[in-house]
Structure 1
Amino acid sequence: MNRFVGSRSLVVRDAMKDLSFPVLLMYSTDVPAEVVSMGPYSLEVAPDAPLPGGPSPLVVISHGGGGTPLAYRTLASHLARSGYIVAMPEHPGDNRHDRSLSEALENLENRPRHIRLTLDALCSDAEIGPHLQRDNVALLGHSMGGYTALAVAGGQPWTGPGQKVAVTSDPRVKALVLMAPATGWFVPDHALQDVRAPILLLVAEHDRITPRWQGQLVLDLVPDRAQVTCKIVENAGHFSFLSPFPPHMCTPGFLPATDPPGFDREAFQRQLQQDVLGFLDASLRRSA
């Protein structure tokens, strides 16, 4: 795997809410990469490099609540170098710059729509669309991104008895990777009955934000438990799935950079890359 990573910055329009949101695209390229600063992070990418030749499977990453897509940059880069086209939207109203909707019902409705709009925009783009396997999509979601992925893949969230969240599923989704997913809105027994895609479910042993019972809901409520590969990540915390942060950000008060004592985030990230790539290769390339 000696390819470089190309990148493009896109803007997707949400006409329903009269707003736009950014999407970072990463993909394999033969163009040598350079170090590019994006916010507080440094990425080795080739900006605006040509897209790869043959149609490739698409992976969309949904970040956690109040987070950033760049928090998954190492995993995204690994998948891009391995031949996937990776799209990382920033959810409006629920990101590190703007948390105005993070606790609102509107956010539960918006997030799945953001993913579908991203898929529509990429697949219909005259330049990008021909490079995609348009009906062969995987969703990766961490925390609230896990909620988002399940809702797009057929899950029906609820805010209370008789109170459905208005979401629409997308048949293009063929695989899910759920990392410490937030699933408390899928409590009714039938909430995940239409989730049919294979799932890689990763649960942190010491997660106080989305405890293990939330992952257990996925195992209990999907119609075919054999479709779920579940792994408990020993000694991990909720934020251990995020890429390692630059040293200047690793302060005791910054929880996303904090792990349980003795946990090696950099070593785990290397294992995470292998696990996710193996799962996607088995789930997407087999169905292509």
Structure 2
Amino acid sequence: MDFSESTQLIQSNGKEFTVTLLEAKQPLCVGIFAAGRGGSPVRHLPLLRALAQQGCTIIAPHFELLIPLTASKEELDARIEMLEIVLRLYSHAHIPMVGIGHSIGGTLLLVLAGGKALTSSGHQLGIHSIWKFERLALLAPPVDFFMHPGALQTVDTQIYLRNGGKDTVTSPSKALLLKQIFEKQGQVEFILDEEAGHFSYMDELPPQIEDTQPDRKVFLENLAMDIAQYITS
């Protein structure tokens, strides 16, 4: 399916930021992509193009790099606000909205879908808005934010969750806890990629990172195909 690709500058509520926009000619869905700590959706561009080719218009905001590794509530809330600006600008009543996120990006999409995320100091993320996503595809999202009673009870959407068996950032055991929570709500498809690490889901690896996935090309092609099928089905 044909799509156009551009970079646009968004100005709203005193904020100014860039989005990568991949616009399908006849979209089956509109997808918000949320990158991880590094903040650049360009590192996932082959995945985003594959989704657009299958008929999903993709809007991917560019975030600032989060430093240090443990981001503050203010920094995470700023990303959530940017995602909400994008949702207000690009959501359509007659086209399903989906979300795709890697690492902390996946966590923030869960917040937007109604999850009550708490920081290590006990502060809640977000501004209590709940957006209706048809589906969420989450790649190795940190889950400690949701390890308290009722944290995900109000999330009412289908979940596609993948995690690497060799992930040292979001451990497989934590991912399984998240899977169990959503299983009780009858809304999760879970895949454990035995040879994958936390960054295996990125088409362009961060500097100094070596992937544990032995055949990245095949892995990433299959990943893109699976996610495209899931979000457009």
TM-score over 0.5 (shorter chain):
yes
For residues 40-92 of structure 1, the C-alpha deviation after alignment (integer angstroms, 9 at most, x for no partner) is xxxxxxxxxxxx2x45410111000123111111111011111110111012x
d(CA) in 2 for partners of 1:234, 1:166: 33
Contact 1:57 1:133 (8 Å CA) reproduced: no
Counterpart Cα distance in 2 of 1:161 and 1:100: 16
- Matched residue pairs, number? 233
Contact 2:54 2:232 in 1 (8 A): no
- Secondary structure in structure 2 of the residue aligned to 1:113: helix
Q: Does structure 1 residue 19 correspond to structure 2 residue 15?
A: yes
Report the TM-score when normalising by structure 1. 0.73
For residues 81-115 of structure 1, the C-alpha deviation after alignment (integer angstroms, 9 at most, x for no partner) is: 11110111012xx33xx748962111222222221
**1:196, 1:223 within 8 Å by CA — same for their partners in 2?**
no
Provide the secondary structure at the position in 2 that maps to 1:263. Answer: coil
CA spacing shift, 1:14–1:269, aligned 2, 3 Å? same
**Residues 99-153 of structure 1 deviation map (CA, whole Å, 9 limit, x = unaligned):** 4896211122222222111011224xxxxxxxx5555111111101111111011
Rounded Cα–Cα distance in structure 1 between residues aligned with 2:46 and 2:173: 28
RMSD of aligned C-alpha atoms?
A: 2.4
User: Which whole-Å CA distance do the structure 2 matches of 1:70 and 1:133 have between them?
Assistant: 28
Supply the distance in 1 between the matched residues of 2:140 and 2:192 (Cα, whole angstroms).
10
For the 8 Å contact 1:192–1:218, the answer to whether it is kept is no
Find 2:177's aligned residue among 201, 205, 217. 217
Q: Deviations over 1:158-210 (max 9, x none)?
A: 12576323433333312100101112111102111111100000010100011
Residue 44 of structure 2 contacts residue 204 of structure 2 at CA under 8 Å; is this kept in 1?
no
Matches of 1:14 and 1:186, distance apart in 2: 30
CA contact (8 A) 1:135 1:172 kept: no
User: Hey, what's the Cα distance between the residues in 1 that align with 2:176 and 2:33?
Assistant: 22
| C-alpha contact 1:27 1:81 (8 A) present in aligned 2 | no
Whole-Å separation in 2 of the counterparts to 1:134 and 1:192: 26
Contact 1:11–1:22 (Cα < 8 Å) also in 2: yes
Match of 2:58 among 78, 86, 89: 86
Partner of 1:169: 129
Of all paired residues, the percent bearing the same amino acid is 25
**Which structure's relative contact order is higher, taking Cα pairs within 8 Å and 6+ residues apart?**
2
Structure 2 spans left out of the alignment, 5+ residues? none
Confirm or deny that 1:259 pairs with 2:231: no
After TM superposition, the score normalised by the length of structure 2 is 0.89
Q: Choose between structure 1 and 2: higher strand proportion.
A: 1
Cα shift readout 1:187-240 (whole Å, capped 9, x = no counterpart): 102111111100000010100011113322322333744310000012011110
Aligned to 2:80: 112
Q: How does 1:62-211 map to 2 (within 5 A)?
A: 62-91=34-63, 94-95=64-65, 99=67, 103-123=71-91, 132=92, 136-160=96-120, 163-211=123-171
What secondary structure is seen at the aligned counterpart in 2 of 1:238? coil
Contact 1:156 1:167 in 2 (8 A): no
Q: d(CA) in 2 for partners of 1:102 and 1:162?
A: 14
CA distance in 2, matches of 1:5, 1:182: 32
CA contact (8 A) 1:156 1:191 kept: yes
In the alignment, which of 193, 199, 224 is matched to residue 233 of structure 1? 193
SS in 2 for 1:158: coil
SS of equivalent residue, structure 1 residue 206? coil
Q: Identify if the C-alpha distance between structure 1 residues 55 and 242 changes in structure 2 by more than 3 Å, giving closer, same or farther.
A: closer
**Which AA in structure 2 matches 1:186?**
F
* CA contact 1:196–1:224 (8 Å) conserved in 2: no
**Structure 1 unmatched ranges of 5 or more:** 29-51, 124-131, 283-288
CA distance in 1, matches of 2:68, 2:6: 27
Equivalent residue for 1:6? 4
